Amino acid sequence: MTSNPKSETDLALDAGATRRLYPSMVESPELRWAFIRKVYAILTVQLLLTVAVAATVDLVRPIAHFLVKTRAGLGVDIAVFVMALAVLVALRVYGKKHPVNYLLIGLFTVLMGLIVGVGCAYTEEKVLLEAWGLTIVIFMSLTIYTFWAARRGYDFSFLGPFLFAALIVLLGFSLIQILHPLGKTSRMILGIVGCIIFCGYIVYDTDELIKRHHYDEYMLAAIQLYLDAINLFLNLITAIDS
């Protein structure tokens, strides 16, 4: 009894799975691809959950009003932000311990959904749709580009120190914006600069995913790409809305 021959599509998929992702690759391509698929599966669930939570905050007006317009809501916003930072630190410690890591990443995603919802509240629907659309297009385009570039031997690890320095500067100006609100033009420039920085982080973190992350660091890899996408979206809102 003979097995059915594989179709051309199956053969093409097998060839893609066994082909090296970058020229100096010595590990098993199949194992690396399995790791990459797991990371993007987690990332997809995170983004969908974030959209659901943020949409609830934005569309249910009593919730949006409480979180944005009231003093008690401001206290809740600060508490949510501090909790998100605490959970992020916990993920760095317990990111490799199952099932604690899944519980932590679920909690972190819900908290980030609340933060995104507050950022989207009372923003025009047109601006939100444009920002989401641009985020999807930019993220997918840069991901495809990084895989293409890695296969041709390009390396983006050198971006790390420059992006970190740029992020510190961006955080400094963002703090100034909170304490001494800037004009629309300054906010737009700040948003555009933020978009450029997180576009760089998408390329850098995707390169890390392809080449350097260990197989048990799937949570760390997913969180990094998730934060890149969320911060790109929020900076796009700032740039477009200004």
pLDDT (tens digit per residue) in 127-145: 989 999 999 999 999 999 9
Q: How far apart are CA 116 and CA 98, in angstroms?
A: 27
The stretch 208-229 carries a mean pLDDT of: 93
The whole-number pLDDT of residue 7 equals 53
The whole-number pLDDT of residue 2 equals 44
Between helices 61-69 and 71-94, what is the axis angle to 10°? 90
The whole-number pLDDT of residue 13 equals 44
The whole-number pLDDT of residue 17 equals 54
Identify the DSSP state of 216. T
Kindly report, residue by residue over 66-110, the tens digit of the pLDDT. Answer: 888 888 888 999 999 999 999 999 998 888 888 888 999 999 999
Identify the DSSP state of 154. -
Kindly report, residue by residue over 72-82, the tens digit of the pLDDT. Answer: 888 999 999 99
Kindly report, residue by residue over 193-203, the tens digit of the pLDDT. Answer: 999 999 999 99
Kindly report, residue by residue over 13-63, the tens digit of the pLDDT. Answer: 445 556 788 888 888 889 999 999 999 999 999 999 999 999 998 888 888
Mean residue pLDDT across the chain: 88
Q: How many CA atoms lie within 13 A of 50 on its CB side?
A: 25
Would you state the structure tokens that stand for residue 215, as one six-digit string?
């197989």
The whole-number pLDDT of residue 82 equals 94
pLDDT over threshold 90, residue 8: no
The whole-number pLDDT of residue 107 equals 95
pLDDT over threshold 60, residue 239: yes
Cβ contacts of 174 within 8 Å, gap of 6 or more: 190
The whole-number pLDDT of residue 12 equals 45
Q: How far apart are CA 87 and CA 46, in angstroms?
A: 15
pLDDT over threshold 80, residue 228: yes
Q: How far apart are CA 62 and CA 167, in angstroms?
A: 34
CB burial string 17-39: b at 16+ within 10 A, e below: eeeebbeeeeeeeeebeebbeeb
Kindly report, residue by residue over 139-183, the tens digit of the pLDDT. Answer: 999 999 999 999 999 999 999 999 999 999 999 988 888 777 777
Long-range contacts of 153-161 (CB under 8 A, 24+ apart): 153/22, 153/23, 153/24, 155/207, 155/211, 156/203, 156/204, 156/207, 157/204, 157/207, 157/208, 157/211, 157/212, 159/200, 159/203, 159/204, 160/204
The whole-number pLDDT of residue 3 equals 46
The pTM of the full predicted model, rounded to 2 decimals, is: 0.88
Query: Distances from the Cα of 167 to the Cαs of 140, 174, 177, 181, 237, in angstroms?
Result: 22, 10, 15, 19, 18
Domain ranges of the chain: 27-241
